[in-house]
Amino acid sequence: MDLSSIKQSVLLGDAEATIAAAHEAVAAGVSPSSILTDALIPAMEDVGNLFACGEYFVPELLMAARAMSAAVEVLRPTLARSGYKAAGTVVIGTVQGDLHDIGKRLVAMMLEGSGFDVIDLGTDVAPEQFIAAARDNDAAIVALSALLSTTLPAMESTVGALRAAALHENLRIMVGGAPVTDDFARRIGADGYAPDAPGAAALARRLVGPHGDADAN
C-alpha cells in the first residue's frame, strides 16, 4: 500500500487526515512498524529538514508533531502487540525551578516520532526524579530542557547527580533549551546538545547508534 498520504498529511500538519490514513493502512494490513518507519519517521525527518532550511517555523513544526503523535496513538496498541522494538527509552523533563514546557513537549513528540519510548516527567523536575525514572525504566537517554538562564545551574547539578548515581555505563545525557549552548553542554559533562526539536531527535538516534556517540555535541 502507498503510504505517501500518511507522510503528506504529517507534512501538512493535518492530524485528522493523518489519523484517517493511519487507520486505513492498519485496516489494509500494513504493519504498524512499517507505518512508523516508512512513513511517520521519514515525514518527521523531512519536517526537520524544512525547519533547518527555514521553510518551516515553530507553528508548522508543532502541527506536524501533533499529527505524528495522533498517528502514534492509533498505532500504539498494535505496536505493543507486534513486538515492535523501540529505539530505546528517553526520560525527558524541564529542570528544577523551570516551568517552561512548550519546547520540551515538542522535543518529546519528535523523539516519539523517531521511534523512542518517551517518559515525560513534566516541568520543575528534581534531580532525584530524573534518577528514579531513568533507573525504573532502564532509560537509554535522559533529556534535560531549560529555558531560563537562572535554571542552568540546576541543569548542571542534574547532570552531576545522574553521573554520580552511575545507573549504567551506556546512559546518555542530552541537553537543550534557549539559553543552552554547545559549550555549556560540554562544560557540564552532557553527551550532547541540540538547538531544536528535529536536532534533538537526530542527536538521540546518534547517541543510541552503534557507536553510542558519547560526546555527540
| Beta carbon of residue 3, minimum distance to ligand B1M (angstroms, whole number) | 26
81 class by beta-carbon count within 10 Å (0-12 exposed, 13-18 middle, 19+ buried): exposed
| Beta carbon of residue 16, minimum distance to ligand B1M (angstroms, whole number) | 23
Among 98, 112, 120, 156, the residue binding ligand B1M under the rule CB under 6 A is 98
Please report whether residue 14 would count as binding ligand B1M according to CB under 6 A: no
Question: Among candidates 117, 108, 133, 97, which has minimal Cα distance to 194?
Answer: 108
Question: Among candidates 144, 136, 216, 140, which has minimal Cα distance to 180?
Answer: 144
x/- contact string, 53-92, with ligand B1M (CB under 6 A)? -----x----------------------------------
Residue type, position 217, single letter: N
DSSP SS3 for 125: strand
Residue type, position 75, single letter: L
Please report whether residue 177 would count as binding ligand B1M according to CB under 6 A: yes
x/- contact string, 104-143, with ligand B1M (CB under 6 A)? x-xx-----------------------------------x
x/- contact string, 194-213, with ligand B1M (CB under 6 A)? x-xx--x-------------
| C-alpha–C-alpha distance, residues 108 and 197, integer Å | 8
Length of the chain: 217
Please report whether residue 48 would count as binding ligand B1M according to CB under 6 A: no
Q: Which residue has the cell 523531512?
A: 46
- Say how many C-beta atoms besides its own lie within 10 A of residue 164's C-beta: 9
From 9-17, 72-80, 128-136, 148-156, give the range in contact with ligand B1M by CB under 6 A. Answer: 148-156
Q: Which residues bind ligand B1M (CB under 6 A)?
A: 58, 97-104, 106-107, 143-145, 147-150, 174-179, 194, 196-197, 200
